[in-house]
Amino acid sequence: MSTLLFVAAFCVVAVLVYMARYSGRLNVTQTRLIDAPIDRVYAMVADCRQWAHWSPWLAHSPGETLVLSGQPDAVGGGFSWDSERGGSGQVEQRHLAPYRTVEQQMRLKSPFAIRARSLWSFASVGAQTEVTWTLRGRVAFSMRAFAPTLRGAMALECRAGLDRMASQLEPATAARYDITCVGVQEVPACRYVYETYRGPIDGLPEAREQTIARLQGQLAQHGIAPTGPPVAVYVQTNVKLRRTVCHIGIPVNAPGFDQMPVREMPAHQAYAVELQGTHSALEVAWYRAMQSLSLDKLQPDQRLTPFERYTHRQHAGAGLTGLYIPLQRTAL
């Protein structure tokens, strides 16, 4: 028995030492220029009642209500939420300097535990407002090994929140985007000509537009008409290093055609999310897609690669884009 206790104690100590190697610090900052006067932008943050319209943690639960406490737009006021799909947490107002800064204490309980100071600053830029949202805190000790992943996730959450806030305040003509979770779909098999992009994620948008134009010109020279909208198939992506290997292609139906590189995409089921608007929001859309996949308890098929389909391209860098994550085959 003493040997078993020694082994158990050794394992516990080993795990604690391993976890202690990682920093649990959280420091995330996102800034956005919003086409609205500073008093309206400030009110969206300083009045807790307004968070229901733009909070990134309620994006998965439309219509979810916040539980208010104290005076919503004063120090000591706050709110909490508890949603099956949006997790749970609470925010308390700590300091308000009208039209300059807001300081809040934030505690996320799920889907992961984080305690942080939520710091806001506002500055007028002509008729617009520059708003900066910073989160500083720590993740729970048990989550330390995942701290880099959580920092990336929180950065996207903050960015999505600021974008949602802007959509509530900016004129109807302002550039914006909508993300819709479509659900499980059948993806038919297709063949596509392609070029491979290897490089930084940030360089992909420009490369994608240039490659699509080049492929379209080459197909026209060979007298072959596309059979579907352009696609980008993500062969390998390293989020930490922000690099990707991606096949940028155009579907064709030309048996025996070998004048250009051709690949086959097998028929499969996929979880689909649609992005309407600017392609600059693709990273947020992929994050939302992975969140929804997890919430719906669906299993991705690791043998197949996720891809984008640019269904309606309004112009370069905008339109209706479908995001598809292959799934392990189930009955619809």
Q: For strand 190-200 and strand 262-265, is the pairing parallel, antiparallel, or unpaired? A: antiparallel
pTM of the model: 0.82
Hey, how many other C-beta atoms are within 10 angstroms of the C-beta on 136? 14
pLDDT at 132 over 60: yes
| 315 or 138, higher pLDDT | 138
Distance CA 269, CA 329 (A): 6
Q: What is the layout of strands, in order, in the sheet containing 243-252? A: 177-187, 268-278, 318-326, 307-315, 231-238, 243-252, 190-200, 262-265
Q: In CATH, what is the architecture of 22-174?
A: 2-Layer Sandwich (3.30)
Amino acid in position 172: A
Measuring CA to CA, which residue among 273, 322, 29 is closest to residue 157?
29
Contact 221, 243 (CB under 8 A): no
The DSSP output letter for 76 is: T
> First CA to last CA across the chain, in angstroms?
52
Res. 21: pLDDT tops 50:
no
Interior angle at CA 17, CA 13 and CA 18, nearest 5: 115
The Cα-based distances of 303 to 250, 323, 332 in angstroms read 22, 17, 20
Q: What is the mean pLDDT of residues 111-135?
A: 93
| CATH 3.30.530.20-classified regions of the chain | 22-174
Q: How far apart are CA 2 and CA 143, in angstroms?
A: 31
Helices (H), 104-181: 147-169
d(C-alpha 318, C-alpha 95), whole Å: 40
Residue 95 phi/psi, 5-degree rounding, is -155, 135
What residues does CATH 3.20.80.10 cover in the chain? 182-326
Pick the CATH number of 182-326 from 3.20.80.10, 2.30.30.220, 3.40.50.970, 3.40.50.2300: 3.20.80.10
The pLDDT tens digits for 283-305 are: 999 999 998 998 888 999 999 99
Residues 41-86: tens digit of each pLDDT: 999 999 999 999 999 988 877 667 889 999 999 999 999 998 877 7
Q: Which burial class, exposed, middle or buried, applies to 67 when counting CB atoms under 10 A from its CB (0-12, 13-18, 19+)?
A: exposed
Q: What is residue 239's predicted lDDT score, i.e. its pLDDT?
A: 81
Other beta carbons within 10 angstroms of residue 61's beta carbon come to 16
Q: Is the pLDDT of residue 111 over 70?
A: yes
Distance CA 66, CA 213 (A): 48
Q: How confident is the model at residue 140 (pLDDT cuts 50, 70, 90)?
A: low
Task: List pLDDT tens digits, range 226-266.
Answer: 999 999 999 999 887 889 999 999 999 988 888 999 999 99
Q: Which two tokens stand for residue 122?
A: 């506002």
